[in-house]
Chains A and B, each alone.
Chain A
Amino acid sequence: MPEPDEIAAHLSSSEQRDEILELGMWTFLSTEVLLFGGLILTYMVYRHADPQSFAEAGRQTRIVIGTINTAVLLTSSFCVAAAIQAGESGAAKAVRGLLAAAIVLGLIFLGLKGVEYLGEYRDHLVPGIDFEQSGSHAQGIRLFFMFYFVATGLHAVHLLCGVIVLAIFLRCAFQVARNARYLAGLRTAGLYWHFVDVVWIFLYALIYLPGRSG
Chain B
Amino acid sequence: MSNNYLTDGYTLRSWFFTIDHKRIAILYFASLIFLFLIGGAAATMIRIELVTPQADLVSSDTYNRLFTMHGIIMVWFFLIPSIPNTLGNFIVPLMIGARDLAFPRLNLASWYLFMLGAAITLYAIFMGGIDTGWTLYTPFSTLYSNSYVAVAAAGIFVAGFSSILTGLNFIVTIHKLRAPGLTWYKLPLFIWSLYATSIILVLATPVLAITLVLLAAERIFGVGVFDPRIGGDPLLFQHLFWFYSHPAVYIMILPGMGVVNELITCYSRKKIFGYKFVAWASLAIAAAGFLVWGHHMFVSGQSLIASLVFSFMSFVVAVPSAIKVFNWTATLHKGTLRFDAPMLYALGFIGLFTMGGLTGLFLACLAFDVYATDTYFVVAHFHYIMVGGMVTAYFGGLHYWWPKITGRMYSDYWARAAAILIFLGFNLTFFPQFILGVEGMPRRYHVYPPEFQVWNALSSGGATILAAAYLLPVFYLGYSLFFGARAPANPWGATGLEWQTSSPPPKLNFDKQPVVTSPPYDYEHAPEPQNA
A: residues with CB less than 8 A from B are: 8-12, 16, 19-20, 23-24, 27-28, 30-32, 34-39, 41-42, 45-46, 49, 127-128, 139, 142-143, 146, 149-150, 154
A23 and B172 contact, CB distance less than 8 A: yes
A35 and B206 contact, CB distance less than 8 A: yes
A31 and B217 contact, CB distance less than 8 A: no
A34 and B207 contact, CB distance less than 8 A: yes
Kindly list chain B residues whose C-beta atoms are within 8 Å of the C-beta of A24: 102-103, 168, 172
Query: Taking the complex as formed, is B304 at the interface, i.e. its CB lies under 8 A from any CB of chain A?
Result: no
Query: Given known contacts A42-B225, A42-B236, A139-B231, is B203 in contact with A20 (CB within 8 Å)?
Result: no
B: residues with CB less than 8 A from A are: 98-104, 164, 167-168, 171-173, 175-177, 202-207, 209-211, 213-214, 217-218, 220-225, 231, 233, 236, 240, 243, 508, 513
Question: How far is the CB of A181 from the nearest CB of chain B, in Å?
Answer: 15
Query: Given known contacts A24-B168, A127-B222, is B209 in contact with A150 (CB within 8 Å)?
Result: no
Kindly list chain A residues whose C-beta atoms are within 8 Å of the C-beta of B204: 34
Question: How far is the CB of A82 from the nearest CB of chain B, in Å?
Answer: 28
Residue in A31, A37, A143, A146 whose CB lies within 8 Å of B202: A31
A11 to B508, CA, bound (A): 11
Residue in B98, B213, B224, B513 whose CB lies within 8 Å of A143: B224
A23 to B465, CA, bound (A): 47
Given contacts A23-B171, A31-B164, A34-B203, 8 further A-B contacts (CB under 8 A): A9-B508, A27-B171, A37-B206, A38-B240, A38-B243, A39-B213, A42-B225, A128-B223
B177 and A16 contact, CB distance less than 8 A: yes
Residue in B103, B222, B240 whose CB lies within 8 Å of A42: B240
A149 to B209, CA, bound (A): 17
Question: How far is the CB of B437 from the nearest CB of chain A, in Å?
Answer: 33
A38 and B103 contact, CB distance less than 8 A: no
Residue in B101, B168, B176 whose CB lies within 8 Å of A31: B168
27 pairs, A vs B, C-beta closer than 8 Å: A8-B104, A10-B101, A10-B508, A20-B103, A20-B172, A20-B177, A23-B171, A23-B172, A23-B176, A24-B102, A24-B168, A31-B206, A32-B206, A34-B203, A34-B204, A35-B206, A38-B207, A38-B210, A39-B214, A42-B210, A42-B214, A45-B233, A127-B221, A128-B221, A139-B224, A143-B225, A150-B213
Closest to A27 in B: B168
Residue in B104, B205, B217 whose CB lies within 8 Å of A150: B217
Kindly list chain B residues whose C-beta atoms are within 8 Å of the C-beta of A9: 99-100, 508
